[in-house]
Structure 1
Amino acid sequence: MARSGATIDDYFRPDASSRKRKWTDLHDEIRDGFSVDELTAPQGDDSTTWKPRQNYEDVLIGELTPGPRRVTFMARVVNIYDLPVASKSPRAAKGCLKILAKDHTGRILISLWYIDVEYGLGLGSLFTVWTPHVSVSKSNPKSGSTNQGRENAAPLMTSIFPERDGACHVVVHEDTAPSTGRICRVPLGYREGQPHGHGLSSLVESRELARRDASVETKVLVYVKAVGAVTRVTNTKGHSSDKIDIGIGDESGEAILTLYGRMMLSALRWTPFSTILLVSRVNWRLDWRLSVTAQTMIDVDPDIVEAEWLRRVAVGLSRCVNQVYPEGVFDVETLESAPVKLKFTLADIDEFVRARPNEIYMGYMSLLITEVNLTTLYTRRRLFSSECCNMPLFANAVAADCGQCGRNLELRLNPQVIGALTDETGTISCSPPPPSRGASNSWNSPARFYPISRDTRPMTSTPLIWSPQAWRQLLGREPAELLTAAAGDDSAGKAASPSPFLGYIQSRLRFLRITVMFGWSGELGKLAICRVVG
């Protein structure tokens, strides 16, 4: 029987490559967004690696309105946590980053779904979002907050899935460039010159307000004092997570801020006595701890006048507690061989330095040791000290590990061993401040951040720098020999008892008159004891 008509097979031969393939072969092709290589490729601040197919309106967060609208905005992360999703499907999301972001006009909750891409987002990260839709946030995100009266974390929200949806995208910017370092760092609602400190409270005031009314929202501006070690904890449901304790402080007191997950990873990059945090909507506990919820906002290094003032205060507290004696600054050999010996008093040095502070002065002084803290510092485990990562390090040992970077450091004799030097015109005081009541025995105190010493009182730099030779001439031995001769080793982690040997050395030094060769340098800014000649 003749064929009634031609079919498509008469004109095209079937292609073997068009046969149905396995699901794993089509895995990357089914996605209608971007490939993993495109999303993980290095991206510059101008986001030239992605070109949107449609026009997106560049807006501020405060200008966003609910509904379908292609918009792009830049923001900083003030809260972030990860919600893993258990699914066996290769197309399904493996997790969602809940990001609370803000600029100076408003805040928004972003649900960033992901499969394979690792977004380098953390607290303080600057990023740009392209999204085709913004909706109203109807309910609070998952949170451990017990305050039901608080408003939502943000009035608006958007949900994006860049690996599946080509209409949305995210670019994370580096803050190393000067052009991006100050973008979106102004706190929400901040107005320069606004009275009453923009609703800021001190740590002590915030804690008292929270004790009277847990629903009161307060804002505290603090500096990072210490970054603790990462520890793993297990909750009542059997889920394990990593956490980190951050020591924070202001002019009124100190506290502990506990962070988990993504927020914890951000804190590892913070610099003690330099990083400033503006913490809002935080929960207080009874043991001076601050717990973070999904509604908490943490601005990292906010661009406000109050933050600059607090940073200057923090830098003053972090001055080197035991500065290294500068070699090559003072010509000791020339002064020793000079036929004329210039004798100064403390009043003379003060007068000359005030008149010409940038000059270098050298001479001799006759001083009386009126205070010695040898046994006190040994009992408090501060006989030797150094500094690393902007943090003081104290121990009754010649070496110790830094609690921040883990580097082994060589410690030097604490210059506060000599508490005061006096002549007929004045006194130089180097004594440590008196111990605070119960500071070294409270486990809940932020003192436990210090791996060597639990004393948390601010240790400002002493006005004197002793050379190694000056210490040997004053003590009659190497400073390390004090530890060898002292009894009561501090190996058990408890306060050691001073030996009779240290008490004998201290009694011999007290009210001893010595003649020292000194040096002053404007660049150094301290009085250096170069030699003890008599």
Structure 2
Amino acid sequence: MLLLYEAWASLLKMATSAPDNNSIQSFYPKEIAPPTRIIPGAHPENEAFTSAELAAAQNPLTQSWRPKGVYHPTTISSLQPGPGKVRFMARIVNFIPSTDGPSRTMLPQGFHLLIVKDDTGVVALRLLRSTGDDTKFLKLGALVTVWAAFVGTYTPQPSVRVPLVSLIIPVHPAQGSASCIKFHDAASSVRNASLCRLPLQYDLTEPSAAMSGIMNLRAYLNSGHEGIPNVRILICIYSVGTRKTIRSERMDKSLDLVEVQVFDETSSCLMKVWEHQVQSAKAWIPNQTVLLITNPKMRPPDKRSGAAELIWSRTCTIEVDPACPDAEWLRRMAVERTKREAVHIPFPEGIWDVQKAIHGPQKTLFTLADIDIWAREDPEAVFTGKLNLLISSVSIMNIVSRTMLCCVECCGVPVYCNKPNATCKNCMKPHSLALNPRIIGSLTDETGSIAGGKLIWSNQAWADLLFGANTTSTSTSAPSGKVKSELQPRVDVIEEDYFGEEDPFSEDPLNNRSDDSSWKILATLDNTALREVEEQLLYSRVTLTFGWSPAVGRLCVLGVEW
């Protein structure tokens, strides 16, 4: 009891003797915040990631990827289901981009389906879609390198089964992923242009043998599409149309469309490509790109067009420029067809000495039959000479009435206009046009006849023919006088774009003019003046200075003398 009292007294004494400013808060001092640590390179907005890190996560296909571990090189035919680090190169032969709606490929949403092949087999790739624009990499014939850590079994629905595809590889491109894909750029594709172009199931030991299942286009359109499994057609691109926008009522949206004309030695037809397929079609070169399509699909003729159409379906494979003799033969056939049907072939430069051929001391007079004999006896001969021919038909008025006075070829299709400048409606590229050689119907001598449209005329030759620039005689049959009299009153309507600011008729230009733009005077003439030119050219006798080269394959007119 005494001890309790003494303790209480001591506490009371301490409380009464404590200063007035001491309180319970003095036992809990205010915490001082530590100084802010400045991290070098931090964003002022205190962002968690840099813009480069965000771009790498959103566009993994554009970033470099370093494999962890050893990936053994292999071929597609050697792939086995299960885990294992392998890598191989292949080319895209079909693809189905990821969509927001349900897919019939049995893939979950957010994945692209790629069908790739090498020289040994075909395999499917399940490529994870990123937030970036992955579809710009999806193009037929693109060369890719694939690093895979697992190979699975591909079991789609029968309606979307691709021939020869039984395996699928999941590809998740990211820095920490064990699988990745690299789309090779244009420079790398040029260096590796010959890789993975051998057609599947092609026997290398017998290169002259036909591929299995190959069928010409006519046979396929007639009856080959009726239930024949894994049929193949080899076609060449004739023309690639302009991009169109079509409104789809069924899908309730607008779709991009490009119409591609294809052909082989037997027939031709139309192939329509839609949406993401358009990027592949725009890279095809008319009369050069060859497609080998396995298991194609055909749309029967409808009442509007009356022609059948090929369809780029989910179940086909399309090999671009396959390396086989059949493809080379079809490409050569396309080149020969182009020469026969071409509306304009540019005049070749650097083959002959034009001035020496026209004014030199050696002037050999040929007939059309002599040229044929010389070219056949020595196929490698390059020579020049003279031809004395009669202009037996002229079609200037007919050509002008059809708006075909000037012409050029672009995107595999001819571009016509009555003015020397026009724009291609397919690629919207402006062009400087050339004079249509078909204004001269035919030229004749005592041994034969040749169509003027089959000749390649130089600009100097056109100037000599139309305006008598190199007239060597005062023959009344020369049309230069008539042409000059018709053109003189029309000096004020010549556009400056044709000749510049200089007066084209100063100092008697019709007898001295032979530059590249002189023939463009025809584009400024009215029908009366054009009819006068046509009448003066008809049944006139001219001497052509020609050049022949097997590399060109056509007679080239270097100059004209009256």
CA RMSD of aligned residues (A): 3.8
| Matches of 1:199 and 1:373, distance apart in 2 | 49
Q: Which runs of 5+ in 2 are unaligned?
A: 1-33, 38-45, 102-107, 302-306, 469-477, 484-517
Letter in 1 for 2:264: D
Does the CA-based 8 Å contact 2:346-2:456 persist in structure 1? Answer: no
Which shifted more, 123-132 or 93-102? 93-102
| Matches of 1:127 and 1:326, distance apart in 2 | 39
Q: Give the match's secondary structure for 1:234.
A: strand
The 1:306/1:196 distance shift into structure 2, 3 A limit, reads closer
The CA deviation at 1:117 is: 4.8
The 1:95/1:25 distance shift into structure 2, 3 A limit, reads farther
Q: Deviations over 1:432-489 (max 9, x none)?
A: xxxxxxxxxxxxxxxxxxxxxxxxxxxxxx23425221341476547556555566xx
Does the CA-based 8 Å contact 1:209-1:216 persist in structure 2? Answer: no
| Matches of 1:532 and 1:269, distance apart in 2 | 41
2:197 aligns to what?
Answer: 185
Matched, 1:463 2:491: no
The 1:356/1:187 distance shift into structure 2, 3 A limit, reads closer
| Matches of 1:237 and 1:352, distance apart in 2 | 64
1:132 aligns to what?
Answer: 149
Does the CA-based 8 Å contact 1:471-1:479 persist in structure 2? Answer: no
Does the CA-based 8 Å contact 2:347-2:457 persist in structure 1? Answer: yes
The CA deviation at 1:519 is: 2.9
Does the CA-based 8 Å contact 1:175-1:181 persist in structure 2? Answer: no
Does the CA-based 8 Å contact 1:70-1:131 persist in structure 2? Answer: yes
| Matches of 2:269 and 2:275, distance apart in 1 | 20
Q: Give the match's secondary structure for 2:125.
A: strand
The 1:403/1:273 distance shift into structure 2, 3 A limit, reads farther
2:182 aligns to what?
Answer: 171
Q: Deviations over 1:106-145 (max 9, x none)?
A: 21121101223544231111112122222222223xxxxx
Pick one of 233, 236, 239 that aligns with 1:220: 233
The CA deviation at 1:238 is: 0.9
| Matches of 1:485 and 1:254, distance apart in 2 | 40
| Matches of 1:163 and 1:330, distance apart in 2 | 61
Letter in 2 for 1:529: V
The CA deviation at 1:65 is: 2.3
| Matches of 1:418 and 1:107, distance apart in 2 | 55
Letter in 2 for 1:469: A
| Matches of 1:207 and 1:226, distance apart in 2 | 19
| Matches of 2:238 and 2:309, distance apart in 1 | 14
1:43-54 to structure 2, matched below 5 A, reads 49-52=65-68, 54=69
With the length of structure 1 as denominator, give the TM-score of the two structures: 0.72
| Matches of 2:431 and 2:407, distance apart in 1 | 10
The CA deviation at 1:206 is: 1.1
The 1:148/1:531 distance shift into structure 2, 3 A limit, reads closer
| Matches of 2:331 and 2:440, distance apart in 1 | 30
1:337-416 to structure 2, matched below 5 A, reads 343-353=365-375, 354-355=377-378, 358-363=381-386, 365-378=387-400, 380-388=402-410, 391-416=413-438
Letter in 2 for 1:300: V
The CA deviation at 1:181 is: 1.2
Pick one of 261, 281, 297 that aligns with 1:247: 261
1:32-71 to structure 2, matched below 5 A, reads 35=57, 39-41=61-63, 49-52=65-68, 54-71=69-86
The 1:27/1:281 distance shift into structure 2, 3 A limit, reads farther
Matched, 1:300 2:320: yes
The 1:515/1:208 distance shift into structure 2, 3 A limit, reads same
Does the CA-based 8 Å contact 1:109-1:153 persist in structure 2? Answer: no
| Matches of 2:536 and 2:347, distance apart in 1 | 25
Does the CA-based 8 Å contact 1:402-1:408 persist in structure 2? Answer: yes
The CA deviation at 1:186 is: 1.0
Which shifted more, 280-289 or 380-389? 380-389
Pick one of 232, 253, 276 that aligns with 2:290: 276
Matched, 1:311 2:311: no
The 1:165/1:288 distance shift into structure 2, 3 A limit, reads farther
Q: Deviations over 1:126-177 (max 9, x none)?
A: 112122222222223xxxxxx9496667222122222386111111223534
| Matches of 2:216 and 2:151, distance apart in 1 | 36
Instruction: Give the structure with higher Rg (CA).
Output: 2
Pick one of 241, 256, 271 that aligns with 1:257: 271
1:429-508 to structure 2, matched below 5 A, reads 429-430=451-452, 462-466=454-458, 467-472=461-466, 473=468, 476=480, 477=483, 480=520
Does the CA-based 8 Å contact 1:114-1:163 persist in structure 2? Answer: no
Matched, 1:529 2:557: yes
1:439 aligns to what?
Answer: none
Does the CA-based 8 Å contact 1:97-1:111 persist in structure 2? Answer: yes
Does the CA-based 8 Å contact 1:281-1:297 persist in structure 2? Answer: yes
2:172 aligns to what?
Answer: 161
The 1:135/1:410 distance shift into structure 2, 3 A limit, reads same
2:495 aligns to what?
Answer: none
Q: Which structure carries more helix by proportion?
A: 2
The 1:222/1:337 distance shift into structure 2, 3 A limit, reads closer
Matched, 1:84 2:99: yes
| Matches of 2:122 and 2:421, distance apart in 1 | 48
The 1:533/1:157 distance shift into structure 2, 3 A limit, reads same
Q: Which runs of 5+ in 1 are unaligned?
A: 1-13, 18-23, 44-48, 87-92, 141-146, 432-461, 488-499
Pick one of 514, 519, 534 that aligns with 2:541: 514
Letter in 2 for 1:138: T
Does the CA-based 8 Å contact 1:137-1:152 persist in structure 2? Answer: no
1:428 aligns to what?
Answer: 450
Q: Deviations over 1:191-221 (max 9, x none)?
A: 243644432222211111256x256543211
Q: Give the match's secondary structure for 2:187.
A: coil
| Matches of 1:483 and 1:404, distance apart in 2 | 24
The 1:64/1:530 distance shift into structure 2, 3 A limit, reads closer
The 1:327/1:226 distance shift into structure 2, 3 A limit, reads closer
1:97-108 to structure 2, matched below 5 A, reads 97-108=112-123
Pick one of 105, 111, 117 that aligns with 1:96: 111
Letter in 2 for 1:111: R
The CA deviation at 1:249 is: 1.5
The CA deviation at 1:295 is: 1.0
Q: Give the match's secondary structure for 2:463.
A: helix
| Matches of 1:274 and 1:341, distance apart in 2 | 39
Does the CA-based 8 Å contact 1:79-1:296 persist in structure 2? Answer: yes
The 1:281/1:481 distance shift into structure 2, 3 A limit, reads same
Q: Deviations over 1:484-514 (max 9, x none)?
A: 5566xxxxxxxxxxxx88677656644x141
| Matches of 2:267 and 2:123, distance apart in 1 | 32
| Matches of 1:117 and 1:148, distance apart in 2 | 30
The 1:198/1:400 distance shift into structure 2, 3 A limit, reads farther
The CA deviation at 1:525 is: 5.1
Which shifted more, 471-480 or 410-419? 471-480
Report % sequence identity.
26
Does the CA-based 8 Å contact 2:465-2:561 persist in structure 1? Answer: no
The 1:381/1:290 distance shift into structure 2, 3 A limit, reads farther
The CA deviation at 1:75 is: 1.4
The 1:411/1:223 distance shift into structure 2, 3 A limit, reads same
